[in-house]
Amino acid sequence: MTTSQRMPQAQRRDQLVAVATEVFSRSGYRTASMDAVAIAAGVSKPVLYQHFDSKQSLYLAVIDAANAVFDSVLTGALHSSDDNEERVAAAISAYFSFVTDHRSEFLIIARADSYEPGAVKRASSSTDRAAMWIAELIERKSGATTAEAKLLAVAITSMAEAAALQLAETAEFEADAAAHLISGVLWNGVGSLPDSEEAEAGGGSAAPVPAD
């Protein structure tokens, strides 16, 4: 191994997290090793352990970094317009762009190892925030109750995540085409719910009345 160039501590830590992101996204938490990360980063294991005292702490740092990238991408999309339909389209487009432009970070979040304590909860924090935003949108636009809006939002984010994983693994769609398809289904579905006034007139439920 070549001797690594001395870097400021914060810069070295960021470099190790970036390298570990690639290693963990390819191999998974259980298969990847600290040796593999050190070799890929061009440092000795003692240098790696100066920054992260275990594979667990490194893995959680990788998840946090991936979440930060996702949050930045999604937040930018949500602030791109005041029109709700445009915001939905922008957010979903940003999500699928994240899959293609930051594939390793997406795979880290989507494949958080369930055997690593804290990993799944940590990885889901960004998607949980996305679901919360969607729930608020549904509740404002329709007559859905808070509980109904939350249920629909979880279903929507789960659908988007499953579709994004399919996109990441197969590349059968361009990101823009996938985003257009999913956002159309989402917006049409939300638009089919009774609005606030209709729901109040019908007793406050967003559930459709069965046809005779």
Helix axes 9-27, 34-41, angle to 10 degrees: 120
Distance CA(129)–CA(150), nearest Å, equals: 11
**Mean model confidence pLDDT for the chain:** 80
C-alpha count within 13 angstroms, C-beta hemisphere, residue 176: 0
Instruction: Give the model's pLDDT for residue 182.
Output: 76
- Tell me which range, 29-33, 99-103, 121-125, 193-197, is most confidently predicted by mean pLDDT: 29-33
Distance CA(20)–CA(36), nearest Å, equals: 9
Instruction: Give the model's pLDDT for residue 59.
Output: 95
Q: What is the pTM of this model?
A: 0.74
Instruction: Give the model's pLDDT for residue 19.
Output: 98
Instruction: Give the model's pLDDT for residue 15.
Output: 96
Digit-coded pLDDT (tens) for 167-202: 777 766 677 777 777 777 776 766 666 665 544 555
Distance CA(184)–CA(167), nearest Å, equals: 17
Give the residue-averaged pLDDT of 155-171.
77
Give the residue-averaged pLDDT of 47-62.
95
Give the residue-averaged pLDDT of 99-109.
89
Distance CA(139)–CA(157), nearest Å, equals: 16
8 Å CB contact between 16 and 37:
yes
3-class SS string, 90-135: HHHHHHHHHHHHCHHHHHHHHCCCCCCCCHHHHHCHHHHHHHHHHH
Q: List, in sequence order, the alpha helices (H) in the chain.
A: 9-27, 34-41, 45-51, 55-78, 84-101, 103-110, 119-123, 125-141, 146-170, 175-191, 196-201
Give the residue-averaged pLDDT of 83-99.
78
Higher pLDDT pick, 194 / 159: 159
Region of 173 (left: φ > 0; alpha: ψ -120 to 50; beta: rest) is: beta
Which letter does DSSP use for residue 2 in this model? P
